[in-house]
Each structure stands twice: as C-alpha cells, then as structure tokens.
Structure 1
C-alpha cells in the first residue's frame, strides 16, 4: 500500500475534513504502536507500511510493556491536541483498521498475540471469544 492510499483510507475511515488531520492521527497512533511491538512482527509490519509510516512506526521509542487498549487510547488522546478519549478512540480505530488491511490476516494474528486482550477491536478485527 502506498502513502497516498493509506492516507486516503484513514481520512475516509476517520471522516477527517482534511488530509492534515488524518496525517496527525497516523503519526500519533503509529508512534505508539511501534513502541509496543517487537521482533519479527515489528519488522514485518514496517515492511508492509508505506515508507512514511514505517519511519514513524520504527522510531526507537519502546514501551516497557504494552499498554492495555484503554490506556493506549488515553495515551493517543494525550498526544493529539484537543482530543478526548472518545475522539482518540475514533482516531486509533481509523489508523489501526488501515494498518490491519496493510498487514493481512496472518501477520495480524501474530501482532495480536503480542498485545494485551482487546486490541482486536481497535484494529477492527474482533476475535472469537
């Protein structure tokens, strides 16, 4: 997936009025996600993202442990000017569902194994209970 397609998908899913707002959400969410994934899954996902996204995703920031989904959304809200938890949930879902499309089912399954329960919903990939 190229940058323009990725950006347009996030813009449409997030119903952002401008590409700038969609890009802001992409950068914030990918930076947070990149801090939570390690190993092969991190490298494999970076390879499937547009270069602009991969550079943000591969920033050397690392979380000591993955945040629970609710805390991930709160962290995104803290980084996005004027965001609330509700709007940050929208931002996170718009970006992560596009990431899931780029990743494909097999890689998404491996990514979800690295993250705490509940991320499947943020990625728009509900798993059977």
Structure 2
C-alpha cells in the first residue's frame, strides 16, 4: 500500500521537526530530486512506485548524475538547494526525508538501492549499519 502524500509529508514534518508542512515539502522535493539523479533502473522505478505520486514524479524527473555523490557531497548539494540551509540543517533535512523513504521502500528494496550508492548512505537513510 502506497503512503498518501499528506501522510508522507506529516511523517517528514514530524521527523524533521519542521514547524510547517511547507518546510517539510521543500526538503522532500530537494532531497528526492537529488536521490533520483543517483538511483537508476528498476530500483528507481520500484522506489517511485512505493512513494506518493507527487514524490514519485520528483524522483523520476532528474537526469542521471554524471558521477555519484559521496554522502557528504549529497548533504552539501542539499544545502546548496535549500535557501538558508547549511550542512548541519541539510543533514537533518536529508535524514528526515530519506528515513521516511526507507520506511516506504522496505528492507529488500533498500538493500538494492544502497548497492547503487557510495558507502555511507545507509546512515543518511537512518540505518545504523549497511543493510
């Protein structure tokens, strides 16, 4: 069962401790666009199918990245796209969004997604060790 947009947004807002749904939505859109550039093929399509439609559209829209970003560079790129963000707040944004994405994806799909990404992304997805 795919999580509805309002439930997904509420989960991100709660985990990110955002004061408004708009703040949570901004983080969702930036993080999913960056993630979509780094996850490709069947895993990207399957992940999109497990997310609310508006999230799926953001995830599926970007062109593939020229090179994979390390987790640190992913956080820096997020900070660059969110007005007023710094690396600390961006790390918080990434964690809030990607932990909800991981819950929606399930363990088996997350294991395959993480295989496409450089080491260290498990922590961004709220996993304490590689899955």
- TM-score normalised by structure 1 residue count: 0.97
Unpaired stretches in structure 2, ≥5 consecutive residues: none
Q: How many residues align?
A: 129
Q: Which runs of 4+ in 1 moved over 3 A?
A: none
Q: Name the CA distance, whole Å, in 2 between partners of 1:51 and 1:108.
A: 19
2:74 aligned with 1:91:
no
Shift in Å, 1:128 = 5.2
- 2:24 partner SS: helix
- TM-score normalised by structure 2 residue count: 0.96
**What's the counterpart of residue 52 of structure 2?**
50
2:96 aligned with 1:105:
no
2:49 aligned with 1:30:
no
What RMSD over aligned residues (CA atoms) do the two structures have, in Å?
1.2
User: Deviations for 1:4-54, whole angstroms, at most 9, x for unmatched residues?
Assistant: 110000000000000000000000000000000111100000000000100
Unpaired stretches in structure 1, ≥5 consecutive residues: none
